[in-house]
Amino acid sequence: MRWMWIDRFVAFESGRRAVAVKCVSRAEDHLHDNYPAYPLMPATLIIEGMAQTAGVLVGEARQFADRVVLAKVPRATFAGDVLPGDTLQYEARLERIDDAGAMTSGQVQCNGRPLGEIDIVFSHLPRETADQLGIPSHNFVFHDDFRRLLAAFGLDMSRYPTAE
Amino acid sequence: MKFHMVDRITALAPGERINTVKSLAYAEEYLADHFPTFPVMPGVLMLECLVQSAGWLVRVSEDFAHSLINLALVKNVTFKSFLAPGQLLQVEVECRQLESRRSEFSGWGRCGANEIVKARFELRHENLAERDPGFAALDHENISHARRHYALLSCPAAAERKT
């Protein structure tokens, strides 16, 4: 299992809103443990899809200068099952952003129908904490896969400083 | 990759609480992406450890009556620190309410004395046969699989091993 939970962006309005989609495939290993006779997309991975959509929105808003990490999920709701062949759409809105972190609200649709709502609080990892915990000083969060997703959507990635 | 976020059940009191352990291994594939230069357990997978632990508590408390036990609602999940390869997440989940078709929990994940994650959440318990009687065989398959898996996770020899 890789750790990419969005397949492409379909809308990106800097500092405001991002929309990404994820195709759910029977070829994904983890579905077959959840459940062996009835493969379903695990709800926690739906939270991650929203966290990746919203996290990129938060990171881009400050030119990927911050190490943006998940701090809280105040609320997430799930109304139904997500099956192989379904398409999820994550819409994240930036509610607040400052030096300490950011807050986003989000809605998930499955095949165009509402599935749930997921709100997220992100932290911008402070330099002192990072040094104490031996965390890399470069921006390890927004690695090449995310940059490729944004480039594929049409963003000019040469406008942003590199991760190093 | 297996979507198994419980390695061992160390204690279980039906209808009340469960303690489990998840060890984090460098060999787990997703760590290569999260993150390429800083491998740590993704926060939502730590939440999944709590959710799967609660799922075992429900199954044992209701003698494996339901085939699907899914997350319905998450409230106030807080991630406090990172878990790195070579570390153990010690999970404790407390049942706040257990009804036939839903349940409510508080859960914590700790590494030694450090609290790494805490959450409140609700699960939904279902059988596919409630939707269509033709699905009864699928319920049966899921439930037998869960019983076999539980036997592995909870055997006394496993619980007695020091962690």
Confirm or reject contact between A75 and chain B (CB < 8 A). yes
| Nearest CA-CA distance, residue A11 and chain B, Å | 24
Q: For the segment A34-86, what is each residue's pLDDT rounded down to a tens digit?
A: 999 999 999 999 999 999 999 999 999 999 999 999 999 999 999 999 999 99
Structural domain range at position A43: 8-159
The answer to whether position A3 is within a domain reads no
Helix (H, G, I), strand (E, B) or coil at B71: strand
Closest CA to B53 of B2, B12, B114, B113: B12
Number of domains in chain A: 1
Section B125-140 average pLDDT? 96
Q: What is the pLDDT of residue B81?
A: 93
The answer to whether position A1 is within a domain reads no
In the predicted model, is pLDDT for residue B161 greater than 80?
no
pLDDT bracket for residue A130 (50, 70, 90): confident
Which of A45-49, A59-63, B129-133, B155-159 has the least mean pLDDT?
Answer: B155-159
Q: Answer whether A38 sits within 8 Å of B68, measured CB to CB.
A: yes
In the predicted model, is pLDDT for residue A138 greater than 90?
no
How far are the Cα atoms of A105, B112, B125 from residue A47, in angstroms, in the given order?
A: 12, 27, 20
Q: Tell me if B51 sits within 8 A of B77, measured CB to CB.
A: no
| Nearest CA-CA distance, residue B12 and chain A, Å | 22
Q: Answer whether B71 sits within 8 Å of A138, measured CB to CB.
A: no
Which residue has better confidence, A136 or B13? Answer: B13
Q: What is the pLDDT of residue A163?
A: 58
**Domains of chain B by residue range:** 8-160
Confirm or reject contact between A141 and chain B (CB < 8 A). yes
The residue written with tokens 């459940």 in the block is A35
Q: Tell me if A8 sits within 8 A of A153, measured CB to CB.
A: yes
Q: For the segment B48-106, what is each residue's pLDDT rounded down to a tens digit?
A: 999 999 999 999 999 999 999 999 999 999 999 999 999 999 999 999 999 999 999 99
pLDDT bracket for residue B162 (50, 70, 90): low
Section A127-132 average pLDDT? 78
CATH 2.70.70.10 fits B8-160, yes or no: no
**ipTM of the complex as predicted:** 0.95
How far are the Cα atoms of A19, A29, B26, B80 from residue B31, in angstroms, in the given order?
A: 25, 16, 7, 19
Buried b (16+ CB within 10 A) or exposed e, B142-162: bbeebeebbeebbeeeebeee
pLDDT bracket for residue B155 (50, 70, 90): confident
Q: Answer whether B73 sits within 8 Å of A70, measured CB to CB.
A: no
The answer to whether position A2 is within a domain reads no
Structure tokens at A31: 């579905």
pLDDT bracket for residue A136 (50, 70, 90): confident
Q: What is the pLDDT of residue B160?
A: 63
Confirm or reject contact between B25 and chain A (CB < 8 A). no
Structure tokens at A26: 């029977």
Residue A71: which of B3, B4, B79 has the nearest Cβ? Answer: B79
CATH code for position A133: 3.10.129.10
For the annotated catalytic residues of B, the residue numbers are 34
Helix (H, G, I), strand (E, B) or coil at A77: strand
Confirm or reject contact between B34 and chain A (CB < 8 A). yes
Q: Answer whether B33 sits within 8 Å of A40, measured CB to CB.
A: no
Section A102-126 average pLDDT? 97
Confirm or reject contact between A42 and chain B (CB < 8 A). yes
